[in-house]
Amino acid sequence: MTSFSRLLTAMFLLSLLVFTACEREEDPVFSYNGVEVANSSINETTDASLLSDPCIPETQPYDPSGPVVGPVGPTGPSGASGPSGPSGPTSGGYESDYSGVLSTGGGGTGTVYSGGEPGTLTAGEVHDLENWNAWQVDKADFTDFAHDWEMNADDRIEVNLVDETGAALVDARVWLIDGSKAVWRSRTDNKGTAHLYANAYGPDVDGDLDLLVFTNDLTVTIPNPMFVSEGVNESSVPVTVAKPNAADVMIAFDATGSMGDELEYIKDEVNDIFSRVSSENPDVNFRFGSVFYRDYGDQYLSVSTPLDPSIATVESFIDSQAASGGGDFPEAVHIALQEGIVEESWSESARARIMFLILDAPPHGSDCIQEQMRLLIAEGARKGIRVIPVTSSGINKETEYLMRFSAMATGGTYTFLTDHSGIGNDHIDPTTAGYVVEFLNDQMVRLVNRYVE
């Protein structure tokens, strides 16, 4: 080889080295629990600790081979009916938004299930994400619970994304990063909005924060996003993405004995929403599913039917379930989230993923279960699953806080049953200035429509 040829070869090899180095310099790798992002691609995996239950207590084993549905206990005697209440605004700043004759007497464990007709239970909503200033006042009642569970929704960042046509960028992955660490992960909803939290589970994050948006094999960086106290981060992403037509709705039920005063009524309300939301949104391809959970030591820990386009399939499953078991106050709420969020096959691309969580008791408070709850809520946010709790009679303020945090963290909203129906045991009022009372089925239909329109 001549000197000139050797020179050309050396120059060619040098150029390759320079090109490779530049590529590596411009190709950052971000990690989150072993997840790496490079070359504008995402290879996300679920944390291994969420694939099974690491918190089974040694003193309360459960028998997974036991019967799926426990026996239905005898119906208690009917309580005396009280006079029907007047329509229109009610006392305490709570606005009535339902009509019909409601019994104010009876109730409690003596309520008799007459069955068959939805539009019986009454409910309210507190949407903290849309009423953030009100939450700044309400949260003072929950300081101890936020500390005990290490769940903090204060440092929220809101981003609203549109594509190059000005349409909402739906179901885009959005990460909040601190250097090379992903702090929180979310997906945009049907309005192109995502909520991310800088210090949800621990000490303040140090350093500069950035947002990463992943869509159509494109990665967009939004540097130094502002917190919601300063405003909303709005950005246009240079892509055109059609709005997905898929929508998944999962209903999780606490099926322990304490739910016996309301579960049969709730089943009627839930079955009603499936056909209504399908008929009101003909352009949406719905799938519905359900999970029932109890507690350690009961006849089952959880049973479920997967997301399915067949309404009849999930209604049949729901109708076959009954309340039984339990005993102590806390229940296996983390199992409901594991079953619904982790083990369910949610649509990869969707306009909405919604999980209603109907319960009357908090999760167990062991260190292990607290950590599982934090991981499961974060996993729901990552997958774009909007958790919408529906709290029933018997909850306490700790449960209210955990459910309101779960809703905020996943982009959902907090709902609760009220005393206005005269059904079930007493329901506590949420810590808020006021709320509108609706029939539960109407409220659930309205909320599904909110997330799929």
Q: Report the alpha-carbon distance of residue 369 to residue 228 in Å, rounded.
A: 30
Q: Report the alpha-carbon distance of residue 92 to residue 86 in Å, rounded.
A: 15
For residue 150, how many other CB atoms are within 10 A of its CB?
Answer: 14
Q: What's the CATH code, domain 91-132+244-452?
A: 3.40.50.410
Are β-strands 385-391 and 414-417 bridged in parallel, bridged antiparallel, or unpaired? parallel
Instruction: Find out whether 237 and 161 touch, Cβ atoms under 8 Å.
Output: yes
Predicted local confidence at residue 413, as pLDDT: 98
Specify the amino acid at residue 415.
T
Predicted local confidence at residue 53, as pLDDT: 84
Predicted local confidence at residue 92, as pLDDT: 34
DSSP letters, 99-135, are: -S----S--GGG-----S-SS-SEEEEE-TTT-HHHH
Predicted local confidence at residue 425, as pLDDT: 85
Closest CA to 381 of 446, 337, 334: 337
Q: Report the alpha-carbon distance of residue 81 to residue 422 in Å, rounded.
A: 9
Q: Report the alpha-carbon distance of residue 251 to residue 124 in Å, rounded.
A: 18
Closest CA to 32 of 204, 235, 173: 173
Q: How many residues does the chain have?
A: 453
Q: Report the alpha-carbon distance of residue 180 to residue 27 in Å, rounded.
A: 12
Helix, strand, coil shares of the chain as percentages rounded to 5?
A: 30, 25, 45
Predicted local confidence at residue 52, as pLDDT: 80
Taking the CA atoms of the chain, what radius of gyration do you get in angstroms?
25
Instruction: Find out whether 424 and 261 touch, Cβ atoms under 8 Å.
Output: yes
What is the separation of C-alpha 165 from the centre of its chain, rounded to a whole number of angstroms?
30
DSSP letters, 271-329, are: HHHHHHHHHH-TTSEEEEEEEEE--TTSS-SEEEEEEES-HHHHHHHHHT-------SS
Predicted local confidence at residue 327, as pLDDT: 63
Predicted local confidence at residue 402, as pLDDT: 98
Closest CA to 374 of 412, 415, 410, 331: 410
Helix axes 440-452, 263-280, angle to 10 degrees: 40
Structure tokens at 335: 């199992």
- Domain spans, the chain: 91-132+244-452
User: What are the pLDDT tens digits along the chain (453 aa)?
Assistant: 555 455 444 444 434 333 233 332 333 333 333 333 333 344 466 666 677 888 987 555 444 444 333 333 333 444 434 334 333 333 333 444 433 323 232 233 334 444 557 888 999 999 999 999 999 999 999 999 999 999 999 999 999 999 999 999 999 999 999 988 899 999 999 999 999 999 999 777 767 899 999 998 899 999 999 999 999 999 999 999 899 999 999 999 998 887 776 788 888 888 889 999 999 999 999 999 999 999 988 888 999 999 999 999 999 999 888 888 666 679 999 999 999 999 999 999 999 999 999 998 999 999 999 999 999 999 999 999 999 999 998 899 999 999 999 999 999 999 999 999 998 889 999 999 999 999 999 999 999 999 999
Residue written as tokens 């939301």?
A: 277
Angle at 276 between CA 244 and CA 387, to 5 degrees: 60
Closest CA to 371 of 251, 168, 201: 201
Q: Report the alpha-carbon distance of residue 71 to residue 144 in Å, rounded.
A: 39
Predicted local confidence at residue 180, as pLDDT: 81
Predicted local confidence at residue 1, as pLDDT: 54
